[in-house]
Amino acid sequence: IITDLPAVEFYDFEPDTGDLRSEVIAGLSSSPKYLPPKYFYDQRGSELFDQICELPEYYVTRTELGLLQRHGEEMAALAGKDAVLMELGSGSSMKIRTLLAALQPQAYVAMDISKDHLLGAATQLAEDFGWLEVHAVCVDYSQPWEFPYQKQGRRTAFFPGSSLGNFEPGAAKTLLSQIGDLVGRGGGLLIGIDLQKDVTVLEAAYNDAQGVTEAFNKNLLMRLNAELKANFDIDNFTHKALWNPAQNRIEMHLFSQIQQTIQIDGHKFNLAPGESIHTENSYKYTLKQFQTLASSAGFETLKVWTDDDDLFSVHYLQF
Name the residue with the smallest CB distance to ligand AVI.
282
Closest distance of CB 58 from ligand AVI, Å: 7
- Chain-centroid distance of CA 266 in Å reads 32
Q: ω into residue 32 within 30 of 0, thus cis?
A: yes
Cβ distance to ligand AVI smaller for residue 34 or 76:
34
In the complex with ligand AVI, the residue whose CB is nearer, 216 or 232, is: 216
Cβ burial, residue 5 (10 Å; 0-12/13-18/19+): exposed
**Segment contacting ligand AVI (CB under 6 A): 17-25, 72-80, 96-104, 156-164?**
156-164
DSSP-derived pairing of the beta strands 188-194 and 312-318? antiparallel
Residue in 105, 160, 161, 180 binding ligand AVI, rule: CB under 6 A: 161
Are 13 and 138 in contact, with CB atoms under 8 Å apart?
Answer: yes
Choose which of 39, 108, 206, 312 interacts with ligand AVI (CB under 6 A).
206
Query: Closest separation between CB of residue 165 and ligand AVI, Å?
Result: 5
User: 77: buried, middle or exposed (CB in 10 Å: 19+, 13-18, 0-12)?
Assistant: middle
Is 219 among the residues that bind ligand AVI (CB under 6 A)?
no
Alpha carbon distance 26, 45 (integer Å) = 22
Q: Does 166 contact ligand AVI by CB under 6 A?
A: yes
109 half-sphere exposure, CB direction, 13 A CA radius: 23
Of residues 94 through 153, those in contact with ligand AVI by CB under 6 A are: none
Stretch that binds ligand AVI, among 21-29, 80-88, 162-170, 301-309 (CB under 6 A): 162-170
Number of chain residues interacting with ligand AVI (CB under 6 A): 11
Closest to ligand AVI by CB, 60 vs 65, is 60
Q: Does 183 bind ligand AVI (CB under 6 A)?
A: no
Q: How far apart are CA 111 and CA 122, in angstroms?
A: 10
Nearest residue (CB) to ligand AVI, 182 versus 241: 241
Contact between 280 and ligand AVI per CB under 6 A: yes
For residues 14-73, which are near ligand AVI according to CB under 6 A? 52, 60
Q: CB-wise, 50 or 181, nearer to ligand AVI?
A: 50
C-alpha pair distances (Å), 205 with each of 35, 194, 202: 21, 12, 5
Question: Which x/- pattern over 221-240 shows residues binding ligand AVI (rule: CB under 6 A)?
Answer: --------------------
User: Closest distance between ligand AVI and the C-beta of residue 293, in Å?
Assistant: 16
Which span (103-111, 142-150, 158-166, 174-182) binds ligand AVI, by CB under 6 A?
158-166
Complex with ligand AVI: residue 165 or 187, whichever CB lies closer: 165
213 binds ligand AVI per the rule CB under 6 A: yes
* Intra-chain end-to-end CA distance of the chain, in Å: 45
By CB under 6 A, tell whether 256 contacts ligand AVI: no
Q: How many CB atoms lie within 10 A of CB 137?
A: 24
Contact present, 28 and 231 (Cβ < 8 Å): no
Give the footprint of ligand AVI on this chain (CB under 6 A): 52, 60, 161-163, 165-166, 206, 213, 280, 282
